[in-house]
Amino acid sequence: MADPLSIAASVVGVTVPALHGTRLLLDDLQKIKDAPETVQRLKDDVRSVDMALTSLRAVKNQDWEPLGASVAEEAKTTISTCTGACDLFRTDLHHWTRHSDGKLTWQDRANVGFFKQGEIRTMSEQLQNCKVTISSVVGIVTLYSSIRHTHITEEIKKTISTKRIKIKGAIGTADEQLVALENRVKELKLSTD
């Protein structure tokens, strides 16, 4: 089985640039003051991917081990695809809005609001797919971690129960020895009298 530290490091290695890319795209989208509705929805999709990536980044090293390298590779592929899509869309967005400075000119508004609707919807769908995949991985990691902690808790309960039985037995033995000792003291006291 692969080392959980190396698995986690490889996922973080692609997650950090993806977070950076989504935040740059979100920043560019927020700079468009009078953006069409599809761009507003795209902002929400970028935010949700950013939150999913942040959740993925918070996964602890040891939580990757039960999933194995294949899940991590799939997550890395999804994240890399998402990063590439964000970078490409950001380049396209700069090209589409090259005549504008914050507020869209009529030319850029027509371009973004009408002619590029298909590309924006495609990007939105791609981001939603990335978010679902990343959120699923985070959910699976959380589930495995929870199950592992449940098993550990059960083992601890069994150990405590076993120790409790041993302690009760030791207390019972100590009580018997104490009674025997008290009886012996009484016998010795009677014999000295």
Residuewise pLDDT in 10s, the chain (193 residues): 456 557 667 777 788 889 889 999 888 888 777 767 777 888 899 999 999 999 888 887 777 777 777 777 888 888 888 899 899 888 888 777 766 676 666 666 666 666 677 787 888 888 888 889 888 888 888 887 778 777 777 788 888 888 888 888 888 888 888 888 888 888 877 777 6
The reply to whether 167 falls in a domain is no
97-133, pLDDT tens digit by residue? 766 676 666 666 666 666 677 787 888 888 888 889 8
Residue 135 placed within a domain: yes
- Under a CB-based contact definition with an 8 Å cutoff, are residues 86 and 21 in contact? yes
How big is the CA angle at 123 (ends 16 and 30), to the nearest 5 degrees?
A: 70
Q: pTM of this prediction?
A: 0.67
Q: Is residue 72 part of a domain?
A: yes
pLDDT at 76: 85
Cβ-count burial of 117 within 10 angstroms (0-12 exposed, 13-18 middle, 19+ buried)? middle
Among the listed residues 167, 39, 166, the one whose alpha carbon sits nearest the alpha carbon of residue 114: 39
- Report the number of distinct structural domains present in the chain: 1
In-domain check, residue 178: no
Determine, yes or no, domain membership for 176: no
Within-domain flag for 174:
no
Give a yes or no: residue 15 inside a domain.
yes
Q: What is the mean pLDDT of the chain?
A: 80
The answer to the question of residue 160 being in a domain is no
Domain extent, residue 19, equals 4-151
